[in-house]
Amino acid sequence: MHSSFHISRRSFLRRTTLAAAATGLPFWFVERQLAAAEVVKPVTSPNDRPGIALIGCGGMGQGDAANAQRFGDIVAVCDVDESHANTAAKKFTQNGKSPAQFTDFRKLLERADVHAVIQATPDHWHTLINIAAARAGKDVYGEKPLTLTIDEGRHVIKAVRENKIVFQTGTQQRSSAYFHLACELVRNQRLGRLQEVHVFVPAGIRGNHFNKVPVPAGFNYDFWLGQAPAAEYVTERCHRTFRWWFEYAGGPVTDWGAHHNDIARWAIGLDGPVGVAASVMTPPLPDGYNTPGEFEATLDWANGVKQIVRTTTADSPFGSVLDENGQRNGLKFIGTDGWIWVNRNGISASDRELLRAPLPENAVKLVTSKNHMGNFFDCLKSRRDPVANVENGHRSACIGHLIIIALRTGMKLQWNPEKEIFTGEGAAQANQHLAREMRAPYNYRFAA
C-alpha cells in the first residue's frame, strides 16, 4: 500500500512539474488545481451521453458544438439560415445518422431527446431562446453576453431558477488557469490594496454605405431580425458582422469586453460598479455600423477601485501596454504593492515573486474549473451551479450595458448595483435604456 501511494504521488508531482513548466504558472498553483479540479473526461457510454441541440449554427456555434460533442450527441441543429443548418448537420453526422434540422427553435425544443442546448445566436436573440429553453426544461450553455439589455437579464434569471435548469454562460476565461490565478491573487491582496483595473480590448470595425441586395434564398431575414427594428437587408447586418450594430449587439464593448469585464468583476469581488462614464474615441461613420470603433470608459467601484476600459489598435496611444507576445488585449491589475498583467496567452507581474509565493491555507479560493464545456456537462449530472452561472453572466453583462448607456447618453452616471437602477443626475434618461421595445411578435410571449 505504501509503495502504491509513493508511485502515485511521484506521478502526480511529475505531472505538476511538467504542467508548471509548460504553462509558466507557479508550481503551487498547478499542484492545487490538479488536486482540486473536477476530472473532465469524454463520455463514451451511449447511456450516459445526453442529447444536445445547437441553436445558431455559425462559426462560434459549430465550434461550441464540436467541443460539446465529447460529452454528448448532437441530435438537432437550428438556424434561420438553412445553409448554416445544412453545414452543421453534415459536420455532426455520425455513423450515417444526421441531426434533425430546424429553422424555428421552438419546434426543436419540443423534442424529448434534447437534454441540453448550445445557444450561439447573435446577442439580440440570446434572451428569448434562453427563456424558451428554460421553460422547456432544457439545460443551456449560452454564449456571451447573456443579454442585449439589463432588464432582459432579470427575466433570464427568473426563468432559469423557476425551472431549475443548469445554465453556463460562455465566458470561458473563468475556466482558464491564468485568469483564475490572477483573480485569486488580487482577491487575497497579493498586490496590496487594489487601486486600478485596466481592461484592453481590440477596437471594432468601421464601414458604411453598404449595398442593399436581395435576401438570400433559404434565409428567414425577418426571423433573424427578431425583436430588433425592421431594416432593409444588407449583408453586413448579419452573421459575423452583426456585433457592430447596436440593434443586435454592442460592438467591442460586448465582444471581447464581455470576457475581460467578467474577469475584472471576478477579481474585484463585488456585484457591480457604482458609477460609469464613457467617451467615443473614434465615432462610427454615417449610414453604416453604428457602434463606435474605439471608446474609453471609467467605472467606479464601492471599494475605491477604478476600472478603465479602452480599445486598442496598432497605432493606439495605449500600444505600449503589451505582454511578452506583443498582445494589446488583456487586463492589468494595479495595487499598492505591484501589478499583474494577464490574458489568454499568459500571466506576468511587476515582480515574479508575486506569482511564485504560495497563498496561505486560509486564503480565499475561487471555484476551480479546468474546462468550461466540461464543467457544464459535469453540472448536468450533479445539478450544481457551473462556474459561470446565470447570475454571474447577468452581473458581468451589466458592466458592458452600463458602458453602452454611458456612451449613448454622453453622461456620467451613478448606478445602484443592488436595485439595478441609475440614481442622481441623468437617472431618468439613463433608466430609459434599461430595456428596449421588442418588435412584435418577437417578444416574451414568443418564448412562452
pLDDT in tens, 363-406: 999 999 999 999 999 999 999 999 999 999 999 999 999 999 99
How many helices and strands, by DSSP H and E, does the chain display? 14, 15
pLDDT of residue 33: 79
Of residues 19, 7, 16, 17, the one with CA closest to residue 35? 16
User: What CA–CA distances, in Å, run from 178 to 20, 26, 143, 335, 354?
Assistant: 12, 10, 21, 18, 14
Return the C-alpha cell found at 115: 437534454
pLDDT of residue 332: 94
- For the cut 70, the answer to whether the pLDDT of residue 209 exceeds it is yes
Number of domain units in the chain: 2
Dihedral Cα 301, 303, 306, 311, nearest 10 deg: -50
- Sign (positive or negative) of CA dihedral 236, 238, 239, 245: positive
CATH number at residue 441: 3.30.360.10
- For the cut 80, the answer to whether the pLDDT of residue 57 exceeds it is yes
- For the cut 60, the answer to whether the pLDDT of residue 119 exceeds it is yes
pLDDT of residue 32: 81
Of residues 111, 448, 238, the one with CA closest to residue 101? 111
With respect to residue 157, please indicate whether it lies within any of the assigned structural domains: no
Average pLDDT, the chain: 91
pLDDT of residue 6: 45
With respect to residue 412, please indicate whether it lies within any of the assigned structural domains: yes
pLDDT of residue 2: 39
Of residues 394, 375, 371, 369, the one with CA closest to residue 161? 394
pLDDT of residue 342: 95
Q: Name residue 23's amino acid.
A: T
- 396 compared with 326, residue with greater pLDDT: 396
With respect to residue 238, please indicate whether it lies within any of the assigned structural domains: yes
Q: Binning pLDDT at 50, 70 and 90, where does residue 323 land?
A: very low
pLDDT of residue 140: 98
How far apart (Å, rounded) are the C-alpha atoms in residues 422 and 404? 14
User: What CA–CA distances, in Å, run from 149 to 154, 297, 395, 403?
Assistant: 10, 18, 11, 12
What range defines the domain where residue 11 resides?
Answer: 2-36
Percent of the chain whose pLDDT exceeds 90: 84
- Is cis: bond before 441, omega within 30 of 0? yes
Q: Binning pLDDT at 50, 70 and 90, where does residue 327 land?
A: low
pLDDT of residue 1: 37
pLDDT of residue 321: 46
Q: Name residue 98's amino acid.
A: S
With respect to residue 145, please indicate whether it lies within any of the assigned structural domains: no
Q: Which residues, 6+ apart, have CB-to-CB distance to 67 below 8 Å?
A: 373
User: What CA–CA distances, in Å, run from 251 to 94, 138, 300, 327?
Assistant: 37, 30, 22, 20
pTM: 0.92
What would the mean pLDDT of 173-184 be, rounded to a whole number?
97
With respect to residue 411, please indicate whether it lies within any of the assigned structural domains: yes
With respect to residue 101, please indicate whether it lies within any of the assigned structural domains: no
Give kind and range of the element (H or E) at residue 346: strand 346-349
With respect to residue 301, please indicate whether it lies within any of the assigned structural domains: yes
With respect to residue 169, please indicate whether it lies within any of the assigned structural domains: no
- Phi then psi for 367, rounded to 5 degrees? -60, 130
What would the mean pLDDT of 52-63 be, rounded to a whole number?
98
- For the cut 70, the answer to whether the pLDDT of residue 427 exceeds it is yes
- For the cut 50, the answer to whether the pLDDT of residue 186 exceeds it is yes
pLDDT of residue 324: 43
Of residues 355, 354, 337, 331, the one with CA closest to residue 267? 331
